[in-house]
Chain A
Amino acid sequence: MIRRLLIANRGEIALRIIRACREIGIETVAVYSDADAAAPHALAADRAIGIGPSAASESYLSIPRMIDAARAAGADAVHPGYGFLSENAAFAESCTGAGLVFVGPSPSALARMGNKIEARRTAADAGAPIVPGETPEDQSDAGVQRAIERVGLPVLVKAAAGGGGKGMREVHEAQDVVGLVQTARREALAAFGNGTLYVERLVPSARHVEVQVFADHHGQTVHLFERECSAQRRHQKVIEESPSPALAATDPALRTRMTAAAVAAARAVGYRNAGTVEFLVDPASGAFYFLEMNTRLQVEHGVTEAVTGVDLVRAQLVVASGEPLPWTQAAISARGHAIEARVYAEDPARGFVPQAGRLLLYREPRMPGVRIDSGVVEGGDVPVQYDPLIAKVIASAETRPLAIARLAAALRAFPILGVRTNVEFVIQILEHPRFQAGTVDTRFLDRETPSLVSSPDAAPEFVRSAAMAVQPSANDPQSAIRNPHSTWDPWQS
């Protein structure tokens, strides 16, 4: 079994991994950049090692610094989390070369699935339908432009190395090609250190449905059902849920075919550990297309944990240690419905521009059936250098409508002050009739966002008077607020 694990990540996912380690007695080593010296993940681990400046390219994306940190800490394994180096085959290779267990697939599986052309060929050979597209050999503006002409507008231009909507642009008009290609390339370089672009036909009215797979070193590959993530804004997932409402509305055989295709694709690359196979689904025709495979733990893994009752991160550590999967396919079942909202520091009223700043007040709600994974604390900072994800709120209940209502109730009781967030925007989505009917496609948010961003109405009068008339903090002697414990003792807190 792994003895001491270096967590090559930050924020909520680093904390999630630390918790799993505590349960099974693995020592934890966090890494932090200058901006994160006092971040919760650095404070929570058994020890923490500074790995450089705040810019991710010089810290969380630096393979040599990460390997040096693992060696200095005497770690025997590395968990990459998601994002950063998690899908970087060279990093997995470097870990192995340094005698460290990489918690994830083999470098060769990472490389094959990380190359979108290879991944599509692999999936097609394994029997999954694919969307037309290509990675142009000539990566100049003109070369990508010719590839776009071959594939046919409208297209998606994506970072060949990445995910999460970074380095991804939709191109509808020929005149926009060059500008959008240049933007996508810059974003791809900044986010993944690789500006290679991939061009794919845009499928309209599609639903995003992904299958969680898991394989061990003993020949066992299983799936843990699907998640639907059709509520995306500019290809950035906002809400994820399981089971998929798109599949619920179609022939039950579709789920069987998709999960079988996902397992076959994973087997075809000799996949090990946790992975996710993403599909586009056209619910009208029942057609589905392989999109890509994410060779890592997903942000939204908690949704699958909520419906299946398994611990995916613990299983990752067990499997990476060489032990068999803790469950057989027959033992995995799903129950009820789970739905997750990603709470981002961003300002919907100003084009969702990311926000950075100090969290003046941050209180997570506690209620039955609600799990919150976060990497921030009240009084801490949301740094400008990294992804603006603050927290993931996962609600589970017996049915989809009850899970939606529970998530909305949790968000209404989740005060975050000091930075603007998307909380109100997410509540608007959850309460939209089309979302509640389960018919939202991947373009829904991009179409409907203007109507979902509420105009900044004036605060209700009682909110304004409560906020302005008094000192909110207990240690202010000028307070005019009635204290419930003592009607007239302003010094008592």
Chain B
Amino acid sequence: MAVVTRIGDGVLRVEVDGRAETVYVAGPPGDRWAFWNGRTFRWNASKSADAGAAGRRVSRRRASSRTDVTAPMPAKIVAVAVREGQQVTSGDTLVVLEAMKMELPVAAPLDGRVRAIACREGDLVQADAVLVELE
């Protein structure tokens, strides 16, 4: 049984198996972050991507085979590498973003056809904005 003591704002002392560990915690219950021993953890109720591994930013719509490919962060669109109707295979670059002066290719998460392109070169997009719809 772990004994938890708050020793500062967001700083918890946890006694576990005879050791004392320091855990730092922040964020609302629906998006909780923790730091322990050089490692960061996040529990986000709305974004399943953060709990999982590769964190691909895609969402499948119910009762259809459509997949939205979204921006992982606020960014500028520097290139759209596909056109509507084009067949793509998993890993193909769909769009190139620029954020913090680095270019970030956004790849197709699966094989499919480009149903719609929801961005243009030069656009500024917010995190989670839909860039390309695949089907």
Contact = CB atoms under 8 A, between A and B. Distances in A.
Contacts of B33: 360-361, 417-418, 467
A342 B5 CA distance: 32
Given A384-B73, A384-B75, A415 B5 contact: no
A248 interface: no
A421 B24 CA distance: 15
Which of B36, B40, B42, B52 counts the most chain A CB atoms within 10 A?
B40
B33 to A, nearest CB: 4
A276 B54 CA distance: 39
Interface string A426-465: 0100000000000000000000000000011001101111
Nearest to B32: A467
B12 A388 contact: no
Interface residues of A, number: 58
Given A416-B35, A417-B34, A459-B36, A467 B72 contact: no
Interface in B86-135: 96, 98-104
A161 to B, nearest CB: 13
A473 B4 contact: no
Contacts of B85: none
Interface stretch (A40-48, A197-205, A289-297, A474-482): A474-482
Contacts of A466: 2, 4, 12, 14, 23, 25, 34
B6 A420 contact: no
B63 interface: no
Nearest to A385: B100
Given A190-B98, A473-B10, A417 B35 contact: yes
Interface in B1-30: 2-7, 9-12, 14, 16, 21-27, 29
A460 B36 contact: yes
Contacts of A347: 55
A386 interface: yes
B6 A166 contact: no
Contacts of B99: 353-354, 356, 384
A166 B10 contact: no
B38 to A, nearest CB: 4
B55 A417 contact: no
B92 to A, nearest CB: 13
B97 to A, nearest CB: 9
B96 to A, nearest CB: 8
Interface string B40-77: 11110000000011110000000000000000111100
Contact of A483 (B6, B10, B27): B6
B101 A420 contact: no
Contact of A187 (B24, B36, B38, B101): B101
Contact of B40 (A424, A472, A481): A424
Interface residues on B, range: 35 or more
Nearest to A423: B38
A474 B23 CA distance: 15
Of A190, A387, A469, most buried by chain B (CB within 10 Å of CB) is A190
A353 B73 contact: yes
A470 interface: yes
A418 B27 contact: yes
A467 B98 contact: no
A472 B16 contact: no
Given A186-B103, A387-B101, A467 B43 contact: yes
A146 interface: no
B82 interface: no
Contacts of A354: 73, 99-100, 102, 104
A164 to B, nearest CB: 9
A463 B101 contact: no
Contacts of B21: 462-463
Task: Pick the most buried of A360, A385, A424, A427: most chain B CB atoms within 10 A of its CB.
Answer: A360
Given A363-B24, A387-B101, A462-B16, A468 B32 contact: yes
A412 interface: yes
A455 B29 CA distance: 24
Nearest to B75: A384
Given A191-B101, A353-B104, A456 B53 contact: yes
B38 A424 contact: yes
A184 to B, nearest CB: 9
A183 B103 contact: yes
A355 interface: yes
A463 B41 contact: yes
Given A462-B14, A468-B32, A417 B24 contact: yes
A265 to B, nearest CB: 28
Contacts of B24: 361, 363, 415, 417, 472
Contact of A415 (B29, B35, B72): B35
Contacts of B22: 413
A418 B37 CA distance: 17
6 contacts: A56-B101, A354-B99, A472-B6, A474-B9, A481-B4, A482-B4
Interface of B: 2-7, 9-12, 14, 16, 21-27, 29, 32-43, 52-55, 72-75, 78-79, 96, 98-104
In the complex, the 3 A-B pairs of residues with the closest C-beta atoms, listed nearest first: A472-B25, A415-B35, A360-B26
Given A474-B9, A479-B6, 20 more contacts: A183-B103, A186-B78, A186-B79, A187-B101, A190-B98, A350-B55, A353-B72, A363-B24, A415-B24, A417-B10, A417-B27, A417-B35, A423-B38, A460-B36, A462-B2, A462-B14, A466-B25, A472-B9, A473-B10, A482-B6
